[in-house]
């Protein structure tokens, strides 16, 4: 009798132990672990956890938001856009934080027409948000005129993002530009002069030495061997290559100078955007 | 007698040296083949996946230059990719005329006088100048 009781108690205690064991993969633990992974910068693993959470509870709106964020931060924004289209019935009706996150995915992919179409059709984003997102897209598309049109739709003078964008757009529209045509023309006249005009006078000097040196050598060889010899033509061909390359390089140098000026403004815009959203 | 002693001493030292060298053989093996023997075959991905005859021809010229000229020299180009790699990449991505002009321009820029104009590759300690990539400012932060 005693023996039977002991066996019964033993089995009972074992069963209780098994029942009391925690399931590590339940919804609560998955959420906790996913949030930990997201906070600790392990975005690829966070994607898997939030995918599991979305599978366990498809109505969990916060899990979907974190899933989109994990996709974006892990660098897989294309997958993030694809999955967003799959997990939401209608992207135009998703809550504002989700719309902002989806917009961030579209902005990361620099798909401006798609992003702007989304903001046009979205029904949950307030108008100032739509205007600011459109302004952001136009600034990064280097179209400051259109960006000005969009930012003028925001009338709130306390909105620091709109105010910051106005300053950036003003500098983008009125800043000094280098003319690629003028740089090319100057280098056509005197090799290297176009590069000097764009501020790269050292490269310009090297262009002048290369082109001038080849021209001088070609001239010498023509005088020495005449036009029926191959030697002067070799120098002429190389010199012509350097000359044409110098014109191309001057045009490119002016364009790069302009791009860098705009890139500085875009960096500033990126800082403001990421502080605001 | 004196010379016999000296010869005996030298022979003893030689034997001691040999036995010591044998005992430290394991350690010396560690340092063998540290330097390249020159027979390492390099592959250049830039010359692969040619789409047409022109690219194949230029890839051939590139490989010829890399095998017989560039291999005899140290790394002297200030950029990454190097000027020859830039040339083949430019021709492959922009065509012969524009790619050729880009290469001629690059040759004049390869002087190390204007490092402030380029990004710096800390691993290779060279300036970055890729013909296939235009630097873009990311819109959204990658940490938030």
Contact (CB<8Å) A73/B143: yes
Please report the ipTM that was assigned to this predicted complex.
Answer: 0.72
Q: Does B116 touch chain A (CB under 8 A)?
A: no
**Using CA atoms, how far apart are residues A277 and B131, in angstroms rounded to an integer?**
34
Contact (CB<8Å) A267/B137: yes
Is the separation of the CB atoms in A272 and A165 below 8 Å? yes
Beta-carbon contacts below 8 Å between A and B: 76
Bond before B81 cis per omega within 30 degrees: yes
**Using CA atoms, how far apart are residues A3 and B33, in angstroms rounded to an integer?**
74
For residue A203, the chain B residues in CB contact (below 8 A) are: 108-109, 111, 113-114
Shortest CA distance from A270: residue in chain B:
B139
Which residues 155-184 in chain A show a CB within 8 A of chain B?
none
**Using CA atoms, how far apart are residues B11 and B15, in angstroms rounded to an integer?**
6
Q: Which two tokens stand for residue A93?
A: 């009706």
pLDDT at B34: 62
pLDDT at B38: 63
CA distance B50 to chain A (A): 24
For residue B94, the chain A residues in CB contact (below 8 A) are: none
Contact (CB<8Å) B141/A274: yes
Residue A86 has pLDDT above 80, yes or no: yes
What pLDDT, in 10s, does the model give residues B92-112? 999 999 999 999 999 999 998
Q: How confident is the model at residue B123 (pLDDT cuts 50, 70, 90)?
A: very high
Shortest CA distance from A110: residue in chain B:
B139
**Using CA atoms, how far apart are residues B40 and A25, in angstroms rounded to an integer?**
51
For residue A202, the chain B residues in CB contact (below 8 A) are: 111, 113-114
Residues 6+ apart with CB under 8 A from A32: none
Closest CA to B106 of B128, B123, B73: B128
Regarding predicted confidence, which is higher, B17 or B2?
B2
pLDDT at A14: 63
Residue A75 region by backbone torsions, left for phi larger than 0, else alpha for psi between -120 and 50, else beta: left
What pLDDT, in 10s, does the model give residues A146-200? 999 999 998 888 889 999 999 999 999 998 899 999 999 999 999 999 999 999 9
> In the sheet that B79-80 helps form, which strands lie side by side, from edge to edge?
B79-80, B126-128, B119-121
Contact (CB<8Å) A245/B107: yes
Residue of A66, A239, A249, A266 best to disrupt the B interface, most CBs of B under 10 A: A249
**How many C-beta neighbours within 10 Å does residue A76 have?**
17
Who among B114, B139, B141 is closest to A202 (CB)?
B114
**Using CA atoms, how far apart are residues A77 and A70, in angstroms rounded to an integer?**
9
**Using CA atoms, how far apart are residues A146 and A94, in angstroms rounded to an integer?**
27
What pLDDT, in 10s, does the model give residues B14-72? 776 666 655 555 565 666 666 666 666 778 888 888 889 999 999 999 999 998 888 88
**Using CA atoms, how far apart are residues A244 and A205, in angstroms rounded to an integer?**
15
Q: Does B102 touch chain A (CB under 8 A)?
A: yes
**Using CA atoms, how far apart are residues B59 and B53, in angstroms rounded to an integer?**
10
For residue A241, the chain B residues in CB contact (below 8 A) are: 100, 104
Q: Does A273 touch chain B (CB under 8 A)?
A: yes
pLDDT at B139: 85
Residues 6+ apart with CB under 8 A from A219: none
pLDDT at A19: 59
pLDDT at B6: 83
pLDDT at A149: 93
Closest CA to A40 of A83, A89, A74, A84: A74
CA end-to-end distance (rounded Å), chain B: 89
Contact (CB<8Å) A245/B113: no
């Amino acid at each position: 009798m005693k023996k039977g009781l002991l066996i019964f108690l033993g089995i009972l205690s074992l069963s209780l132990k098994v029942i009391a064991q925690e399931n590590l993969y339940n919804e609560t633990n998955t959420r906790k672990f996913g949030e930990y992974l997201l906070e600790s910068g392990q975005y690829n693993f966070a994607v898997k956890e939030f995918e599991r959470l979305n599978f366990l509870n498809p109505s969990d709106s916060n899990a979907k938001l974190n899933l989109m964020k994990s996709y974006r931060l892990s660098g897989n924004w294309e997958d993030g856009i694809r999955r967003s289209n799959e997990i939401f019935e209608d992207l135009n009706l998703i809550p504002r934080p989700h719309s902002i996150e989806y917009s961030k995915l579209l902005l990361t992919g620099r798909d401006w027409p798609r992003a702007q179409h989304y903001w046009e059709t979205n029904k949950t984003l307030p108008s100032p948000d739509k205007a600011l997102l459109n302004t952001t897209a136009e600034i990064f598309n280097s179209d400051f005129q259109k960006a000005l049109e969009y930012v003028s739709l925001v009338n709130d003078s306390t909105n620091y993002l709109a105010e910051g964008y106005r300053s950036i757009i003003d500098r983008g529209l009125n800043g000094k530009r280098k003319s690629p045509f003028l740089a090319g023309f100057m280098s056509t006249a005197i090799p290297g002069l176009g590069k000097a005009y764009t501020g790269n006078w050292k490269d310009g000097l090297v262009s002048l030495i290369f082109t001038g040196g080849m021209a001088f050598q070609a001239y010498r060889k023509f005088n020495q061997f005449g036009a029926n010899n191959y030697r002067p033509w070799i120098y002429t061909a190389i010199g012509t290559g350097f000359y044409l390359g110098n014109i191309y390089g001057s045009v490119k140098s002016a364009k790069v100078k302009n791009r860098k000026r705009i890139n500085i403004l875009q960096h500033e815009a990126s800082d403001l955007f990421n502080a605001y959203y | 007698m004196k010379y016999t002693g000296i010869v005996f001493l030298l022979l003893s030292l030689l034997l001691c040296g040999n036995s010591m060298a044998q005992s430290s053989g394991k350690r010396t093996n560690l340092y063998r083949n540290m330097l390249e023997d020159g027979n390492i075959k390099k592959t250049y991905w830039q010359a692969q996946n040619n789409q047409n005859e022109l690219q194949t021809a230029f890839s051939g010229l590139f490989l010829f230059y890399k095998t017989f000229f560039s291999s005899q020299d140290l790394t002297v180009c200030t950029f990454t990719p190097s000027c020859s790699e830039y040339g083949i990449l430019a021709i492959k991505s922009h065509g012969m005329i524009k790619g050729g002009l880009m290469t001629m321009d690059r040759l004049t820029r390869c002087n190390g006088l204007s490092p402030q104009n380029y990004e710096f590759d800390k691993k290779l300690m060279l300036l970055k100048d890729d013909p296939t990539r235009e630097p873009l400012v990311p819109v959204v932060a990658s940490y938030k």
